[in-house]
Structure 1
């Protein structure tokens, strides 16, 4: 019993080694015939194709993940997780509303704001902007603008001093620097005997911010909420209150809870960041899925080359297969030989593609600026795209999905040629040899 078991193990080991050896030898194809070299060349191109496809998939998905994360962080650095507004963009008795939601689950901070449009003028330059009136001590709790200040600080906005903080791109468009005075025109004018006259007030530039998102850097101006109330005649009302949560992904759930909580206290509109900027994140997610499908076709085409390689190898090795069959090799063994050959092509291509893709994805912040500097191009112009740098965020779950898909496609590509090889009749194959 022991001898039989030992012989069985040795036989299995020898069988596996024999199939692996022949499969590796067919993959190398170092014979003297030109046909063998051609098959080896097709095997090499299949490996390169799979490697390029895997690397492209990893890099593109990492960039799409980076765009999604960067877009979210930059938007929420200026916007808020949630906001509560009233009818006609006027929230009355906001202190009561803030007190109601301040102790709600997952709410970390609450800050009032006044939002309006305005026209900024300096010399001959005129630029439209969104004007946000804030309380500096509260605003820094619901947004990360304080960390994006390039000159001055939020606390420099003081009630009654009519200071203003501009985005860097907006300041450049106007040609203003720290300490300069700009004129802010409010579209809500006042009626006079000569007609409608816009309200005008001069503000001193006390700070500059840069969040890295052109939409905000070129179109947002911050003033103190008391000054905004005077300019836009809001009295004690505000446009709404902004909330920051301890987990931004709980915003839809918290939004529903607060809506129910305030339902019997008046008309309020509760929105969260997933609703306010849904189009951005849906577009990024859709692009990620489409790019995955498109680039997966590269791997599929390369895997199809494996079919061509093995079909040609089977045709070329008909005599060898017949000899192996006459020596006692089973159809399953013949099939495994060519599965080893095709799977090895897929494994090698997937391995080097994964290594290359991971290295590029982790160093794309260095590679892209180098290419832009060498060729004098800019991939993402500030005035066209929301994000002007190419971010990357590598997720190992994506890497595992891509490598698994590549290996499965490579393995599936070997089945038909291997099955065809196993069905070769030794007598027919050796008839003309």
Structure 2
């Protein structure tokens, strides 16, 4: 099989025993450094993507993928909005809702978001019915003035099923003695646990009709919540609805409502990737050192190759091939190690816990137990390209030095 001369010589240098064993040790350290950096990058980004996906799934299980609401006033024609939304094949479900900030009083006071829902339709847009740990959502019947609390919220209020709470809203109503805040007594009929602190500590749910009566909204609602077959199409669906609806409607999607959270998660992932890339950079610096020492060790060989007709460019390619192969070996080893480590991360975590008798992610502290991973092909490809680019750049200076070798000077003392 034909191979260009620089490639053949570069491969031979890679396989041949070195007179200076320290050079071989530095080359091995370069391979291990690059492999370690690639492994750490793949595993860390997979874990961070896993946490991001877990947070997103838990949040969107309770929040809407997209919403249609009125501009600063109750939405009266919400049934028309539901019809237009459900006509879109990308929409899986739609349900009306009312949301108001409230202060809930039990044994203690806690602020929370009070949400009015239709229990019969809520299952179309959220996982709330499946997250009930006490009671059922069906107990929120019109006129019962029952309320369902998040588990953490009930704990902070010091109440349980069967207790009464006082809900105070920011809305004022006129009375003969002046403006009075809207207050209503509700009975706790159920408790849910969504596994996401924003809802478990900050959400209370009542019947839609009961909240309409308390707020004197008539048949109006805050808006309509939508669940989509593909949450990643939320922006496109929201934009399409905004164009189809004829009226003063406001349309938003989950990427807008939670932009700061996901921007922060993305920034954290990016910063971590940059920091861990320094491990790969350290392997590349070791590669520069080993290649410079190799060039010094092979001065006589380079001079002989030059006298036999090898051009400076070909000499440069010899050492670029040899150094790049070290980078490729380290990158491939790192990719294999990273994939294996990511796939077995939870087993390793369980082994450490059983070996040392500790619980690294206790359930009473963390909502997420274990290490969720989401290894994305895009991340792996980017990591491989960055590692190979660093390894290639690291070969340029030693190869350039080799190309500048003067044959007469190198052979003078041989």
Q: TM-score range by the shorter chain?
A: 0.7 to 0.9
* Partner secondary structure for residue 72 of structure 2: helix
Structure 2 counterpart of 1:3: none
For residues 314 and 241 of structure 1, what CA distance do their matches in structure 2 show? Answer: 71
Q: Is the 8 A contact 2:100 2:115 kept in 1?
A: yes
Structure 2 counterpart of 1:282: 263
Query: Is 1:126 the equivalent of 2:117?
Result: no
Q: Is the 8 A contact 1:380 1:389 kept in 2?
A: no
Q: Is the 8 A contact 2:84 2:241 kept in 1?
A: no
* Partner secondary structure for residue 141 of structure 1: coil
* Partner secondary structure for residue 90 of structure 1: coil
Gaps of 5+ in 2: none
2:99 to 115, 122, 128: 115
Shift of 1:143: 1.6
Structure 2 counterpart of 1:75: 59
Structure 2 counterpart of 1:188: 171
Shift in alpha-carbon separation, 1:93–1:340, aligned structure 2, 3 A:
closer
Structure 2 counterpart of 1:94: 78
For residues 270 and 345 of structure 2, what CA distance do their matches in structure 1 show? Answer: 21
1:50 to 18, 27, 34: 34
TM-score normalised by the chain length of structure 1: 0.83
Using the TM superposition, name which of 360-369 and 325-334 deviates more: 325-334
For residues 170 and 347 of structure 2, what CA distance do their matches in structure 1 show? Answer: 46
Using the TM superposition, name which of 62-71 and 364-373 deviates more: 364-373
Shift in alpha-carbon separation, 1:199–1:316, aligned structure 2, 3 A:
same
Shift in alpha-carbon separation, 1:375–1:126, aligned structure 2, 3 A:
farther
2:135 to 142, 152, 157: 152
Gaps of 5+ in 1: 1-8
Q: Is the 8 A contact 1:214 1:382 kept in 2?
A: no
* Partner secondary structure for residue 88 of structure 1: coil
Query: Is 1:312 the equivalent of 2:332?
Result: no
Query: Is 1:211 the equivalent of 2:194?
Result: yes
* Partner secondary structure for residue 186 of structure 1: strand
Shift in alpha-carbon separation, 1:13–1:83, aligned structure 2, 3 A:
closer
* Partner secondary structure for residue 256 of structure 2: helix
Shift of 1:79: 1.3
1:162-191 Cα shifts (integer Å, max 9, x gaps): 222211211221233333333323333445
2:15 to 3, 20, 24: 24
Shift of 1:360: 3.1
Using the TM superposition, name which of 367-376 and 221-230 deviates more: 367-376
1:203-245 Cα shifts (integer Å, max 9, x gaps): 3333222222211111001111112122222222111111222
2:319 to 315, 322, 338: 338
1:48-85 Cα shifts (integer Å, max 9, x gaps): 32122212221232233223322322222111121111
Query: Is 1:352 the equivalent of 2:343?
Result: no
Shift in alpha-carbon separation, 1:87–1:397, aligned structure 2, 3 A:
closer
Q: Give the aligned length.
A: 413
Shift in alpha-carbon separation, 1:375–1:55, aligned structure 2, 3 A:
farther
Using the TM superposition, name which of 289-298 and 131-140 deviates more: 289-298
